Amino acid sequence: MTHSRKRLQALLFLGIDKARELAKKYTEGAEKALSAFE
């Protein structure tokens, strides 16, 4: 049980990492789009 729990935690952290990466890309893209309209 402990092993699968560690695996679940690892997957969770990986998911958070990926989500943060996507959010950063999305934010950068949004900023570029906004500056293009100015």
Rounded to whole angstroms, the Cα distance separating 19 from 7 reads 18
Amino acid 2: pLDDT: 80
Residue 22 in any domain: the answer is yes
pLDDT digits (tens, 9 = 90+) for 18-36: 999 999 999 999 999 999 9
Q: What's the whole-model pTM score?
A: 0.63
Look at residue 4 and tell me if it is in a domain.
Answer: no
5 in a domain, yes or no?
Answer: no
Structure-model confidence comparison of residues 14 and 3, the more confident one: 14
1 pLDDT more than 80: no
Q: Count structural domains, the chain.
A: 1
Instruction: With respect to residue 17, please indicate whether it lies within any of the assigned structural domains.
Output: yes
Residue 29 covered by a domain = yes
Domain region containing 20: 11-37
Q: Does any domain span residue 6?
A: no
Tokens of 28: 């950068």
- Give pLDDT, residue 8: 95
